Amino acid sequence: GIDFDIEGGTNQHWDDLARYLSGYSTQGKKVYLTAAPQCPYPDAWVGGALQTGLFDYVWVQFYNNPPCQYTSGSFTNLEDAWKRWTTDIPATQIFLGLPASPEAAGSGFIPASDLTSQVLPAIKGSAKYGGVMLW
């Protein structure tokens, strides 16, 4: 499979590349397409490509972006962004991308107690919830 972790450059032609790569799928051998967009919706780089419906898994980076991440005891911004991603993106599964430690990202780390008591119970009921991705 191919993972689109595009964080710069241009937003053009990623949809074309996704269509081209998905053409390599054959009966019995699928080419999986995944993406790791940043949480502001739509993603500045691969937002258009994600609308093609060709991506199997999307690992949304819910960190380093205060408008859509957990912030010191409050996950309202993250929850609102999660609902937008899971409603508007035609992917099979969407994963909650988080920093594994406070040092792994500039912001957005969620203490384990808050993750398990507040965040996961609020989002894991989503039909597209795939799990958690740690950076």
Cβ atoms of residues 11 and 48 within 8 Å: yes
- Of these residues, 3, 5, 7, 80, which one is catalytic? 7
Q: What's residue 26's pLDDT? A: 87
Architecture in CATH of 2-134: Alpha-Beta Barrel (3.20)
Q: Token pair for residue 134?
A: 């740690």
Q: Pick the closest to residue 99 from 65, 56, 126, 122 (CA basis).
A: 65
Q: What's residue 100's pLDDT? A: 98
Cβ atoms of residues 50 and 19 within 8 Å: no
Distance CA 49, CA 55 (A): 8
Q: What's residue 120's pLDDT? A: 98
Q: What's residue 27's pLDDT? A: 84
- Active-site residue, 7 included: yes
Widest distance between CA atoms in the chain = 48
Q: What's residue 111's pLDDT? A: 96
- Which ranges of the chain have pLDDT less than 70? none
Q: What's residue 73's pLDDT? A: 81
